[in-house]
């Protein structure tokens, strides 16, 4: 599976464009007449109708006013805002620092009762030790964030981990073995992190699987993603964060998670892979 940063966003914009087109057709005026009434070039109308451009709140209000459909403006604006919130670049999400970005998802974690997580780059946040989290967030801060609030962000992530031990949630996590052998932090911190994974893997509400390096597969690993019940999938891309809620998208990621889970080893076999990674540290 491979989503471009905007594939779902583009599809949603096209659906919104169809709703704008319905408003235009119901008005009985042409696209050229609408452009004139709105005071913009006809090419803008074409871009909005094709879904190539995202309308602003003002664009939607002008469109509905020109079509005599002011009563539909607010519903269309609500739909447009929901679309634009689907994909957020990291630099926008983290412009006020890393702590607000960590705290922004707390309510989502709190509502969920079943978590499914796939990781191919770093150990999932809810399983990270403080030292590992600090190393990860320090690297992020150096790379793209001007505000240095790493310590506060680490604390926020650690607070979220209490959900692992609440007894009211279940966690199914699958990671690539390469994640266990990554050089994210120094050797002592990495050894501590791997030891922590062994402990977590023994919890009754946690299913922890590792896809071995030598596992043959017909396709490349998927992007890292987190599924919260059947309500939302959060996809971590290189450029930003993608939030998916449509049933067909949820079903696609659920199927992908099932396929990845079948490649993994669990229990004593998973712990043997983790132990081998610890031994490799030396």
Matching fold, domains 7-85 and 88-281: no
Output DSSP code: residue 263: H
Q: How far is 125 from 132, CA to CA, in rounded Å?
A: 9
Backbone angles phi, psi at 45, to 5 degrees: -60, -40
Q: By CB neighbour count within 10 A (0-12 exposed, 13-18 middle, 19+ buried), where does 43 fall?
A: exposed
Q: How far is 29 from 64, CA to CA, in rounded Å?
A: 12
Assigned CATH topology for domain 7-85: 434 Repressor (Amino-terminal Domain) (1.10.260)
Q: In angstroms, how far is CA 93 from the centroid of its own chain?
A: 12
Query: Is 88-281 in CATH node 3.30.870?
Result: yes
* 188-234 per-position pLDDT tens digit: 999 999 999 999 999 999 999 999 987 666 565 678 999 999 999 99
Q: Using pLDDT thresholds of 50, 70 and 90, give the confidence band for residue 5.
A: very low
* 106-150 per-position pLDDT tens digit: 899 999 999 999 999 999 999 999 999 999 999 999 989 989 999
- Pairing of β 206-211 and β 224-228: unpaired
All structural domains of the chain with their residue ranges: 7-85, 88-281
Determine contact, residues 65/74, Cβ cutoff 8 Å.
Answer: no
Residue 8 has pLDDT above 60, yes or no: yes
Q: Using pLDDT thresholds of 50, 70 and 90, give the confidence band for residue 13.
A: confident
* 38-88 per-position pLDDT tens digit: 999 999 999 999 888 889 999 999 999 999 999 999 999 988 887 777 777
């Amino acid at each position: 599976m491979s989503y471009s940063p905007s594939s779902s966003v583009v599809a949603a914009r096209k659906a919104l464009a169809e709703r704008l087109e319905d408003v235009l057709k119901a008005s009985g005026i042409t696209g050229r007449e609408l452009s004139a009434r709105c005071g913009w070039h006809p090419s803008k109308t074409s871009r909005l109708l094709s879904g190539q451009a995202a309308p602003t709140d003002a664009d939607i209000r002008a469109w509905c006013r020109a079509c005599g459909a002011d009563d539909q403006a607010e519903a269309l604006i609500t739909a447009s805002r929901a679309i634009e919130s689907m994909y957020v670049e990291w630099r926008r999400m983290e412009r006020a620092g890393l702590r607000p970005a960590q705290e922004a998802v707390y309510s989502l974690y709190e509502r969920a009762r079943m978590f499914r997580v796939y990781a191919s780059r770093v150990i999932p946040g809810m399983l990270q030790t403080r030292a590992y989290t600090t190393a990860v967030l320090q690297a992020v801060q150096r790379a793209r964030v001007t505000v240095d609030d790493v310590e506060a962000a680490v604390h926020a992530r650690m607070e979220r981990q209490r959900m692992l031990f609440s007894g009211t949630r279940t966690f199914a996590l699958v990671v690539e073995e390469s994640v266990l052998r990554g050089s994210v932090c120094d050797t002592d911190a990495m050894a501590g992190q791997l030891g922590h994974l062994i402990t977590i893997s023994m919890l009754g509400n946690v299913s922890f699987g590792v896809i071995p390096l030598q596992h043959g597969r017909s396709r490349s690993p998927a992007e890292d993603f987190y599924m919260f019940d059947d309500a939302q999938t959060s996809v971590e891309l290189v450029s930003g964060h993608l939030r998916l809620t449509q049933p067909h998208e949820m079903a696609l990621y659920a199927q992908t998670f099932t396929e990845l889970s079948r490649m993994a080893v669990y229990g004593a076999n998973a712990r043997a892979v983790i132990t081998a990674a610890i031994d490799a540290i030396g």
